[in-house]
Structure 1
Amino acid sequence: MLRSVSLRDYMLRHPATVRSDATIDEAMQVIVDNRISGLCVVDEAGQLVGILSELDCLRAILGAAYTESDPGRVADVMAKDNLVVAHPDEDIVDVAQDMLIKNKRRRPVVENGKLIGQITCRQLLEAVSRFQRKP
């Protein structure tokens, strides 16, 4: 049985990030190089300003190919409205349940306005695996 623990213990610290003025090509390279499905978008102060998924990039690239135009910048396609974030002291079970309800694979972790981490389905699965190994 999974017992509740602090998100801080399982979050990915220093997640891969990109700035909103980066090109889609630059962001895609970060995604590919890190073998991840999306990025947190931050400003120069480390404040979270958006989320960019690999699907956002794919949509931008295919749209640009169709219109024979430049795919644009991260700011043009990132999710920036109604961002749901977690606090590092939240209960990991509560966050996992909310991620399932909202059908989201990742949740940025913000403390004092700054991005300090991210929790993803992979970290949640690792946490469950650790709990199952304990007596």
Structure 2
Amino acid sequence: MLQSVSLRDYMLPHPATVHLDASLSDAMAVIIENRVSGLCVVNDQGSLVGILSELDCLRSILGAVYNNTSTGIVRDYMASDNLIVAHPDEDIVDVAQDMLMNNKRRRPVVENGRLIGQITCRQLLKAVQDFK
């Protein structure tokens, strides 16, 4: 039954990441190259410090055009407050329900303080399909 499946079985083990001091242009290139809607933002130790979405990038570009400025760096636009993360052994149904309630498309998976993966709506759909 689906409810007994842990995230570890379906998470992406190496999510696309960007360093918090990277330029927004570099981050956009990673998003486009990996065909993802957002990135996990990490520090020098590989710890999760934020999330950067396509919308964050678009917001920065439009602001830069409007104000005739540069786009800046990732740390200026990433979401970093109250990050919700998952543990790899969490129940996949519980995480899916919480993602729906919070209207989030992705959830970083952290173990022992380090980013080890990510679960997205696509992986959740695959889990449902596998157990249909």
> Normalising by the residue count of structure 2, what TM-score does the alignment of the two structures yield?
0.98
Unaligned runs of 5+ residues in structure 2 are none
Give the 5 Å matches for 1:93-108.
93-108=93-108
In the alignment, which residue of structure 2 is the partner of 1:113? 113
Q: Is the 8 A contact 1:3 1:131 kept in 2?
A: no
> 1:47 & 1:40 partners in 2: Cα distance?
10
In the alignment, which residue of structure 2 is the partner of 1:49? 49
Unaligned runs of 5+ residues in structure 1 are none
1:66 maps onto 2:66 in alignment: yes
Give the 5 Å matches for 1:15-54.
15-54=15-54
Q: Deviations over 1:2-47 (max 9, x none)?
A: 4331110000001000001001100000000000000000011110
Sequence identity, in percent?
Answer: 73
> Normalising by the residue count of structure 1, what TM-score does the alignment of the two structures yield?
0.96
Q: Deviations over 1:45-79 (max 9, x none)?
A: 11000000000000000100010100110000000
**3-state SS, counterpart of residue 13 of structure 1:** coil
1:131 maps onto 2:116 in alignment: no
Deviation at 1:91, TM superposition (A): 0.1
Q: Is the 8 A contact 1:20 1:41 kept in 2?
A: yes
**3-state SS, counterpart of residue 107 of structure 1:** strand
What one-letter code is carried by the residue in structure 2 that aligns with 1:126?
A: K
Q: Deviations over 1:77-106 (max 9, x none)?
A: 000000000000000000000000000000
Which contiguous aligned blocks of 4+ residues in structure 1 show a shift greater than 3 angstroms?
A: none
> 2:90 & 2:5 partners in 1: Cα distance?
8
Q: Is the 8 A contact 2:85 2:109 kept in 1?
A: yes
> 1:18 & 1:3 partners in 2: Cα distance?
32
Q: CA RMSD in A?
A: 0.9
Aligned residues: 132
In the alignment, which residue of structure 2 is the partner of 1:3? 3
Q: Is the 8 A contact 2:50 2:80 kept in 1?
A: yes
